[in-house]
Amino acid sequence: MAMAPMGTELSERVAAVRARIAAAAARAGRAPGDVTLIAVTKTVAAEVVRAAHAAGLTSFGENRVREAEEKIRALADLPGIRWEMIGHLQTNKAATAARLFDRIESVDSLRLAETLEARAAAAGRTLPVLLEVNSAGEASKSGFAPGEMLAAARAIAALPHLRPEGLMMVAPIAERAEDVRPVFRGLRGLRDELRAAVPLNAVDGGWRELSMGMSDDYAVAIEEGATIVRVGRALFGPRPTTATTA
């Protein structure tokens, strides 16, 4: 496995990704600050995350609770650092996740939502969450089907210790980023439907966040309304072949 970039090389990669984000936002008539960059740090060592923080990154996404717990403990001294759970979360890890993460992006079932509600209540906190949508109905991926979203959103919005903030999606793999543009557009449309049908306590109806787009397609996702992009490989280089890249 190639060594993850550090120092100057990592800073250059961060700058390049931020420049692409700014250009995509400009094409969509949006401000770069409207888009949050989450650095996906699955399999990335804690010292590399520390270097990424020094390069200006503050939001990091993890796929596995155990791996994240070790890094969060090791990097607790870093100011302003935020951790997001972006991988499939098993209900037996919900208590730890509710304690560790600033937000759970991958709420993919009512059962998980209800478990997180109980764990957040026990921890005395209100937990921000995103609802994961399986827009393409892929058997290999978790998430609510689009047709389930209205009922699920109503049920989860009623849970007092969860704060739904938007939707998340892992787009289908495609040869060209343009091929998944309709999927990104569809998630934005679904979000707009939820704003009208299940308004949250916000001026615009809530459901602001759209977490969609990874290393190969985040520019297109931003053009279609992404407010969060999850980028790993473009920042840290190739992962082990057993890892799902972002």
Q: What is the pLDDT along the chain (246 residues), one digit of tens a residue?
A: 346 777 899 999 999 999 999 999 999 999 999 999 999 999 999 999 999 999 999 999 999 999 999 999 999 999 999 999 999 999 999 999 999 999 999 999 999 999 999 999 999 999 999 999 998 777 778 899 999 999 999 999 999 999 999 999 999 888 899 999 999 999 999 999 999 999 997 777 789 999 999 999 999 999 999 999 999 999 999 876 544 445
Mark 192-212 as b/e (b = at least 16 C-beta within 10 Å). eebbeebebeeeebbbbbbbb
pTM: 0.93
pLDDT (0 to 100) of residue 173: 87
**Considering only CA atoms, which of 119, 83, 115 is closest in space to residue 102?**
83
Which of helix, strand or coil describes residue 174?
coil
pLDDT (0 to 100) of residue 139: 77
Q: Provide the Cα torsion 218, 84, 209, 35; round to 10°.
A: -50
Ordered domains of the chain (ranges, CATH): 7-236 (3.20.20.10)
**Considering only CA atoms, which of 23, 32, 24 is closest in space to residue 184?**
24
Nearest-angstrom CA–CA distance, 53 and 56 = 5
pLDDT (0 to 100) of residue 3: 63
For the chain, what's the residue count? 246
pLDDT (0 to 100) of residue 60: 98
Instruction: For residue 104, give the DSSP letter.
Output: E
Which residues are within 8 A (CB) of 180 and not within 5 positions of it... i.e. 6 or more apart? 171, 172, 174, 217, 220
Residues facing residue 83 across a β-bridge:
60
Residue for token pair 């796929």: 63
Which residues are within 8 A (CB) of 11 and not within 5 positions of it... i.e. 6 or more apart? 55, 56
Tokens representing 124 are 């005395």
End-to-end CA distance of the chain: 17
Q: Provide the Cα torsion 149, 95, 38, 185; round to 10°.
A: 0
* Cα dihedral sign, 61-63-69-70: negative
* Cα dihedral sign, 1-88-58-116: negative
Residue for token pair 């390049």: 16
**Considering only CA atoms, which of 76, 20, 172 is closest in space to residue 60?**
76
pLDDT (0 to 100) of residue 245: 43
